[in-house]
Amino acid sequence: MPIITNVRTILTAPEGINLIVVKVETDQEGLYGLGCATFAYRELAVKSVVDDYLKPLLVGRDTNKIEDLWHLMHHNAYWRNDAISNNAISGVDMALWDIKGKIANLPVYELLGGKSREGVPYYRHVNGKTLSEIVDKIEVYKKQNVKHIRIQWGLYGGIAKDLNTPKNSEPGIYSNPTQYILDTLRMFEYVRKECGDEIELIHDIHERLSPKDAIYLAKQLEKYRLFYLEDPFSPEQADYIANIKSQCTTPIAIGELFNNPKEWEYLIKNRLIDFIRVHISQIGGFTPAKKLAIFAEQFGVQTAWHGPGDVSPVGHAANVHLSLNSHNLGILEWCGFSDLMYKVFPGMPYEENGYLYVSNKPGFGIDIDEELAKKYPHQTNVTKWTQTRLPDGTLVTP
């Protein structure tokens, strides 16, 4: 019965993105676990919850009681289901699963019932300033046997041109919804013509459009046979998904901003979405994510866990383990990492011929070189990319 002796956060940024890893240590020599608590834009708040509140709550408790400890952490603050608390809980929760796998001498996916597949298909991101640049990048991935690619012309909200903003307008990242819609349709027409129909294409609106504009774009994109259209609406406007489903067949994915079951329950049980895309640490860790995957399976909804650069490699490992097990895997987002990240986080998942694989070591099979991680400290700055505005200066969801 391993007992928790310490819980601590490790903050690092080897690629310039703040990452938060939680390390749970035990009274058994050499036995510890790692978990992802990455909320890149509020990292100090998450660190405080872990170090100042969860550590005193958990030291002296049995690591085997993952389910009970998750609920203990979830209920302990009374107010719950927020991004900061959930990420803090996730860091501990994943670390406990990592420890459980090490005790059993099994990879975590084996604790869930084993593999449904040997490798996990993934998609990569393509963004470009020109259409030819986008196609060139797609061709590179096609040669690597990557069959699913997300395409963006100018990243989220497109490339704003010839903006006429009011005088004294506030600074921010400005976008023009009309330009963005028209450019996106041009992009898909061009890419399908140049790259063919076999490649599976994804696009992320990133909640940058009004509901009426998002519905219009979803209808216009139907003829290009998307694998899915991501985040056409913010969570607050998710009821509008029913409007899309009643008017076109474009598959819909949503969820990276979700915090709790009430945000996905209605959408899944009414079959209004095709893919659930939560950020696993955002909903509280591996324990709620495995329950979500099983719930979604009952309604034919597939998983596509959030996996950009602001998920730590530990979080990516958890994504892959859950995807290896879940029968209803759709696709997995994978941003790719530098050689440096593989040195800081030995045992990271790796890509080969269009699939992701894990190390098959016990637990999540990943570790952290803490001394090397210290050489790349986190930076607490004002987040700028979320300060998005319409041409008249109105702030909009990022």
> Where in the sequence numbering do the catalytic residues fall?
156, 206
Cβ-contact 70, 54 below 8 angstroms: no
Residue 195 sits at the vertex; the CA angle it makes with 193 and 200, to the nearest 5 degrees, is 110
> Can you tell me the distance from the alpha carbon of 276 to that of 256, in angstroms, rounded to the nearest whole number?
8
Place of tokens 């990516």: 316
Largest CA distance in the chain: 66
The Cβ of residue 297 has, within 10 Å, a number of other Cβ atoms equal to: 16
Report d(CA 333, CA 343) in Å as an integer: 22
Backbone phi, then psi, for 151, in 5-degree steps? -115, 135
To which residue do tokens 């216009």 refer?
220
Residue with tokens 């408790």: 61
Task: Give the CB-side neighbour count of residue 7, counting CA atoms within 13 A.
Answer: 32
